[in-house]
């Protein structure tokens, strides 16, 4: 199956505040594990990070993302992740290949966040009326949740994740 190349913006900014926020979040194991658990339930980590970043900046997440972001996620990031996961972690002869795919997956995620960053403020202009970062982030996470699982998600789990995202921001980013 031949896939046509994606049309991408000529100028993208891979090293942007959203990417730096994502890297800082990933330094906290409990936060990274919570995101990865939700990913196995159909959530997009990019949407989680966008919801968190907007929340700590006092903005509400509309849930609308540019088609380029979802197209990149489906055709590039998701396929690389799927390929990496199909290779056994402890299989010696394919260890280098699995590591190369993990590195490629991280680069694909950075591109996905760069694409999201380009339209994040345009599509989420509303400043939240709530002053509490955690409350804003909870609402943003509910908006970011996959439609099929919104009703099934534990509010305790979402509130805990929002607290971790907001707590993390107070240490590394100007809080709302």
Cβ proximity of 39 and 148 under 8 Å: no
By CB atoms closer than 10 A (0-12, 13-18, 19+), residue 151 is exposed
Cβ proximity of 118 and 66 under 8 Å: yes
In angstroms, the CA 35 to CA 169 distance is 16
Query: At residue 127, what are phi and psi to the nearest 5 degrees?
Result: -85, 130
For 63-105, the DSSP string reads ----HHHHHHIIIIIHHHHHHHHHS-TT-GGGHHHHHHHHHHH
What digits encode the pLDDT tens for the residues 32-74?
A: 999 998 988 889 999 999 999 999 888 899 999 999 999 999 9
Token reading at 112: 């996905």
**124-133 residue pLDDT tens:** 777 776 668 8
- The pTM score is 0.85
For position 176, what pLDDT does the model report?
47
What span, in angstroms and rounded, lies between the C-alpha atoms of 66 and 8?
12
| Residue 2 pLDDT level (bands cut at 50, 70, 90) | low
d(CA 79, CA 117): 22
- Chain position carrying tokens 């190369």: 100
Write the DSSP string, 128-145: PS---HHHHHHHHHHHHS
Please report which confidence band the pLDDT of residue 121 belongs to, taking 50, 70 and 90 as the band edges. Answer: confident
- Interacting residues of 119 by C-beta distance below 8 A, sequence separation 6+: 65, 66, 69
């Amino acid at each position: 199956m031949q896939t046509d190349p994606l049309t991408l913006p000529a100028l993208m900014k891979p090293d942007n505040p959203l990417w730096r926020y994502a890297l800082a979040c990933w330094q906290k194991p409990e936060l990274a594990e919570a995101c990865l658990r939700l990913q196995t339930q159909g959530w997009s980590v990019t949407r989680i990070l966008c919801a968190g970043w907007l929340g700590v900046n006092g903005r509400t997440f509309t849930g609308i993302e540019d088609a380029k972001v979802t197209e990149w996620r489906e055709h590039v990031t998701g396929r690389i992740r799927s390929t990496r996961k199909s290779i056994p972690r402890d299989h010696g002869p394919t260890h280098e290949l699995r590591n190369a795919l993990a590195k490629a997956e991280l680069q694909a995620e950075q591109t996905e966040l760069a694409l999201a960053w380009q339209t994040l403020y345009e599509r989420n202009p509303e400043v939240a009326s709530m002053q509490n970062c955690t409350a804003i982030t909870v609402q943003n996470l509910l908006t970011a949740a996959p439609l099929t699982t919104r009703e099934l998600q534990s509010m305790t789990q979402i509130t805990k994740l929002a607290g971790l995202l907001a707590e993390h921001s107070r240490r590394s980013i100007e809080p709302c």
